[in-house]
Amino acid sequence: MAEAFSCRVADLLDLEDRHALPKGDLHLLAHRPTTVETPALSSAVPPPAPTGTDLVRLAADESATWAQWAEATNVGDIALEQLMAEARALASDYLTSEPIALFVRTRALRDRVFALLEGHQYPRQSTDLYVAAGYLCGLLAWMSSDLGQLRDADTQGRTAWLCAELGGHNDLRAWVLSTRSKVAFWDGRLREAINFARHGATYRTTGSVAVLLACQEADAWSELGAQDKALAALFHAEQARAAMSGGDEIGGIFACQPARQENYAAAVQLRIGRPADALRSADNALALLAVQPVRAYGTEAQIHISRAAAHLANGEADGALEALVPVLALPPDHRLEPVTRRLNELCVSIGHPRTSGTAAVGLRQALEEFCVDSAPRHLALSPGEGSA
């Protein structure tokens, strides 16, 4: 303190301080030098730079230190294998399980992958993590659209695409574009849906994604009323099926089984005015679905809806109601947006003079009640959305 105030140490003490100090401390104060030389910081001399063998040894030590950091990883190959196995399980479970519970599980796994990517790992491990994150975001996008949240689905789709690009993975790129085509279709952006599907088809892939992309293109063209282009896209789907060179990496919702392909064909043929062909495709789809190890309730519901629509097109309200019995039995949590959307379209068809009568009135009432009690509506009315 004396140095800071440029005074003697004794000048900091008053008479009371001196009486309180022991005699030994007073003796030290009396014989302490008046100034203490301390080197100024500005005049400190930096250590000499290493030279000769010291310089070479220092450079080697620095490289060794960096190598220890680069060699460390926060994820191992077994952990990566487990993450992909869990992603496959989620994609498969989504075909048969309650969607909101699956959404929670998928989000939790995505967060684990994101946390790992924020750490340090080998470049090849980072690539694998980006692929896992891309599939999980793609799955969240698909689920979000099925729950009627199309804007959120788009956001998930963009993040999934970034992961596919960072991972440099063509199959993932194609599946992400298929997901984005699906979201655009249900959002009414039909040209964009076609562009996504066509873009996805440009990648060289091994599984069934090329089949689904062609089906989605046909779906959008049929909604636009472009009959020839829709039929051409269905033909391309058949060609893609014949050209398949391997299985699907993830499977489940990220696979296009023959029953799913026939389901798309039935919907397309309905829109272009071919109810007989639509009914034939729907029946084929049900037969194929019966021999699959996993029956996707969403796909099966849409197949029955196509059968009902074909009957309505022929003025057969009783046949339509019979076809819809399995759909109307779905629990509310399994009533996804694509299903309720197509049933609402059926309600419009029921207003046609050819489908009037008591059966038509009963069918309309059953469909309206079904659509009111659905998974998207439950989500919208949940406390997390701020509604009662």
Nearest Cα neighbor of 179 from 232, 224, 134, 218 is 134
Average pLDDT score over residue span 122-142: 97
Tokens of 10: 């004794």
- pLDDT at position 344 is 87
**pLDDT tens digit sequence for 18-42:** 777 777 777 777 666 555 444 455 5
**What is the SS3 assignment for 148?**
coil
pTM of the predicted structure, to 2 decimals: 0.82
Phi, psi (deg, nearest 5) at residue 251: 80, -165
For residue 32, give the nearest of 5, 12, 51, 46 by alpha carbon.
Answer: 12
C-alpha separations of 53 from 44, 61, 349 in Å: 26, 12, 89
258 versus 17: which is more confidently predicted?
Answer: 258
At 122 the three-state DSSP class reads coil
DSSP 31: T
Q: Which residues contact 138 (CB under 8 A, 6 or more apart)?
A: 156, 157, 160, 172, 175, 176, 179, 254
Segments making up each domain of the chain, as ranges? 275-375
In terms of pLDDT, which residue wins out, 320 or 173?
173
| Of the listed ranges 98-107, 235-244, 281-290, 315-324, the one predicted with least confidence | 315-324
Please give the pLDDT value at position 373.
82
Paired tokens of 44: 């400190």
- Contacts of residue 324, defined as CB under 8 A and 6 or more positions apart, other chains included, come to 304, 305, 308, 363, 366, 367
pLDDT digits (tens, 9 = 90+) for 86-97: 999 999 999 999
Q: Where are the alpha helices (DSSP H) in the chain?
A: 15-20, 23-30, 52-71, 77-93, 99-117, 123-146, 150-167, 170-186, 190-201, 209-224, 227-242, 258-271, 275-290, 297-313, 317-323, 325-328, 337-350, 358-372, 375-380
Dist. CA 374–CA 370, nearest whole Å: 7
Handedness of CA 175, 177, 182, 187 (dihedral sign): positive
Cα separation, 146 vs 154, in Å, equals 12
